Copies of this chain bind each other. A is one copy, B any other.
Amino acid sequence: MARIKGSVGSKTKASIQEKALPLIAQFGYAAVSMRMIADAVGVNVGALYNHVPSKQQILVLLMSDHMDGLLAAWGQVDVAGMTPAQKLESFVRFHISYNITRADDVFISFMELRSLEADGHKRIEKKRKAYEEVVRKIIREGQESGQFNVEDAHVAAMSVLGSLIGVNTWYRAKGRLSKAKIEDYYAAILLRSVGYDIEGKAHV
């Protein structure tokens, strides 16, 4: 009933986030108790509060870390000088590649927006909009250059993102399709969806 040998604060805090992630992804934020998280970490409930101010803050931390990581990772993809079609293909491959190994984060960031209180919600929502804007911008570029042929850039962007987000709901590492194949297929499907003709002509 006291400090445990070898315990380090930073390690415990990291462990809290790490263990809370799959629990919240599986059962939902509201259905996961601080005691469940404490059990997973291997610590008593009360000890959690040495590292985290509240349950709500765990969620905010998980979501903002994920969105920051996602945006930063995309920022490191070099698309300068690419055509819109090449950019969109890069984006599709990036999104699948990055998110497929982070299914829990993606799921939580998508599903638990409603569990956020006002402050956190505003912060996360802003990051999410920024990510959507990436796609919208690429599609708008393609529209202006004539490489794409879409009725409405916003609708097309939401369609592309919806399609991509869905991947996580059915992808299984041991499944019939490899990550590479899925990337190939989605790149082809989504380029077609914005009216890009692989032979180079805009698709009517």
Which residues of A are in contact with B by a Cβ distance under 8 Å? 26-31, 111, 114-115, 150-152, 155-156, 158-167, 169-170, 177, 181-182, 184-186, 188-190, 192-195, 197-199, 203-204
Q: For chain A, what secondary structure do more than half of its interface residues adopt (helix, strand, loop), or is it mixed?
A: helix
Complex CA distance for A76 and B104, rounded to whole angstroms: 38
Complex CA distance for A193 and B150, rounded to whole angstroms: 12
Closest B-chain residue to A152, C-beta based?
B185
Within the complex, the shortest CB–CB distance from A58 to chain B, in Å, comes to 16
A193 touches B199 (CB 8 A): no
B166 touches A158 (CB 8 A): yes
B185 touches A155 (CB 8 A): yes
| Interchain residue pairs A-B with the least CB separation, the first 6 | A162-B166, A193-B193, A30-B31, A30-B30, A163-B163, A159-B163
Could you pull out 15 A-B pairs where Cβ atoms are within 8 angstroms? A28-B114, A30-B31, A152-B177, A156-B185, A156-B189, A158-B166, A158-B170, A159-B166, A159-B190, A162-B163, A162-B166, A162-B167, A163-B193, A197-B203, A199-B204
